[in-house]
Structure 1
Amino acid sequence: MNINEKVKRRYNRISGIYEIMDKMIKEEWRFNLLSNIAGNVLEVGIGTGANLSFYPTHTKSLTGVDFSPRMLKHARDKVAKGHFSFPIELVEADIQSLPFPDDSFDTIVSTCVFCSVPDPLSGLQELKRVCKPDGQILMLEHMKSDQKWVGTVMDLLNPLTVRLWGANINRETMNTIEHSGLLIEKDKHLMGSIFRELSVRPNKS
């Protein structure tokens, strides 16, 4: 079994409790992030659909992808029960190989996704590929602390968090974003340097 299949099985297994885990992200953070969207939107790692109720009415369309079918089942239930003013399509897909043409979306959203992607660099490069040249990528991500001693503790705890719920807490996501060729336009610290709101551009010049 390859690493992608192992991660998928883990998220299928814990999908039932992910609603509780999603509450780690403050509603205020979700609201502020999603108030900035425009046009046709792709949300990667949509999971159980925790962001759905925060999308503004001016959203043109929303495509949500996740590689866990059990996660998507929860999201589909929310779509079926909700009253949305825009079309929503949910697709089972891997962020490392998205099934969309180049330059497909005006806005791409990710919330706590790149802690669990097996190859985060490939995932970020896929976001760059499917984002329009004048589009934006909006992210809420947790990552390794800039404080050395805190980062060391996170390194020690990381094997446990991966086993429990699949999240790497010591990813150096800012470095990975820079290596992907994306341009960081906004880096707002929400919880020290561990939790951040980011706005990046595809830099396709």
Structure 2
Amino acid sequence: MKPDRTIIKKRYDRIAPFFDLLEAPMEGLFFRPWRQRLWAKAIGHHILEVGVGTGKNFDYYPKAARITAIDFSPNMLKQAAKTRDRKTIQVELDLLDIQSLPYADNSFDTVIGSFVFCSVLLPNKGLKELYRVCKPEGQVLLLEHVVSSKPLLAWAMNLLNPIVVKLFGANINRDTVKNVKACGFTTVRIDEHCGDILKLIEAKK
């Protein structure tokens, strides 16, 4: 049986106090430069970060932008608030579900997220919401891990996925690039430095 939204949220609530520690090796070795590369592409005055987590992207926020950041896990958002206060970051934090955003159509110049759609229950619904709240000629930027294009590795990822979901609430076999391309964006580009599994997706509305 597939986990519902409440179960996934509880899993993130459970690991929130230890989340940064759990991801520290991958963060230090791989993710940090990619976060910097992702945020260097953010443009415009009003930016929405989805899946803010514990606030790992705070160091890369554009100084002049107005930033709203959301997460569906109360405990992750508490960790983000602590990080915000400690680093004196200017950001509005909201407890919201990416699948049902309260913002008006065409609200944000850039919508941005890192490693978010691995844990969205209905990813296509969430992506359509990002498209909706993004301004015309604005952009959606996503840094995501996706299922491998190599058959043997993809088979292994599909095999292991139920275990990873049960432990952490995240899927390791999503095809997020394909899902983004199905959302009606004018262009969808993959950063040329990406490898097989890690993708930096730039979608223009």
TM-score (norm 2): 0.91
Q: Matches of residues 180-195 of structure 1 in structure 2 within 5 Å? A: 180-188=183-191, 192-195=195-198
Matches of 1:183 and 1:21, distance apart in 2: 37
Q: What letter matches 1:28 in structure 2?
A: P
Q: Would the aligned equivalents of 1:102 and 1:131 in 2 still touch at CA under 8 Å? A: yes
Q: What letter matches 1:42 in structure 2?
A: L
Q: Which residue of 2 aligns with 1:45?
A: 51
- Paired residue secondary structure (1:180): coil
Q: Which residue of 1 aligns with 2:71?
A: 66
Matches of 1:104 and 1:9, distance apart in 2: 30
Selected match of 1:102 from 92, 105, 118 = 105
Structure 1 spans left out of the alignment, 5+ residues: none
Matches of 1:113 and 1:164, distance apart in 2: 16
Matches of 1:63 and 1:22, distance apart in 2: 24
Q: Would the aligned equivalents of 1:189 and 1:196 in 2 still touch at CA under 8 Å? A: no
- Paired residue secondary structure (1:200): strand
**CA deviation vs aligned residue, 1:12-33 (integer Å, no higher than 9, x gap):** 1111121134443421111111
Q: Which residue of 1 aligns with 2:179?
A: 176
Per-residue deviation at 1:109?
0.7
Q: Which residue of 1 aligns with 2:36?
A: 31
1:14–1:190 CA distance, 2 compared to 1 (3 A)? farther
For the aligned residue pairs, the C-alpha RMSD in angstroms reads 1.6
Q: Which residue of 2 aligns with 1:83?
A: 88
Selected match of 1:136 from 139, 149, 160 = 139
Per-residue deviation at 1:191?
5.8
Q: What letter matches 2:150 in structure 1?
A: Q
Matches of 2:54 and 2:23, distance apart in 1: 9
Q: Would the aligned equivalents of 1:105 and 1:130 in 2 still touch at CA under 8 Å? A: yes
Per-residue deviation at 1:182?
2.6
Matches of 2:167 and 2:192, distance apart in 1: 26
Q: Would the aligned equivalents of 1:144 and 1:172 in 2 still touch at CA under 8 Å? A: yes
Per-residue deviation at 1:163?
1.1
- Paired residue secondary structure (1:182): coil
Per-residue deviation at 1:6?
1.2
Q: Which residue of 2 aligns with 1:163?
A: 166
Matches of 1:201 and 1:20, distance apart in 2: 34
**CA deviation vs aligned residue, 1:104-124 (integer Å, no higher than 9, x gap):** 100111100001100000000
Per-residue deviation at 1:190?
5.3
Structure 2 spans left out of the alignment, 5+ residues: none
TM-score (norm 1): 0.91
**Identity rate, percent:** 40
Q: Which residue of 1 aligns with 2:128?
A: 125
Per-residue deviation at 1:56?
2.6
Q: Which residue of 2 aligns with 1:55?
A: 61
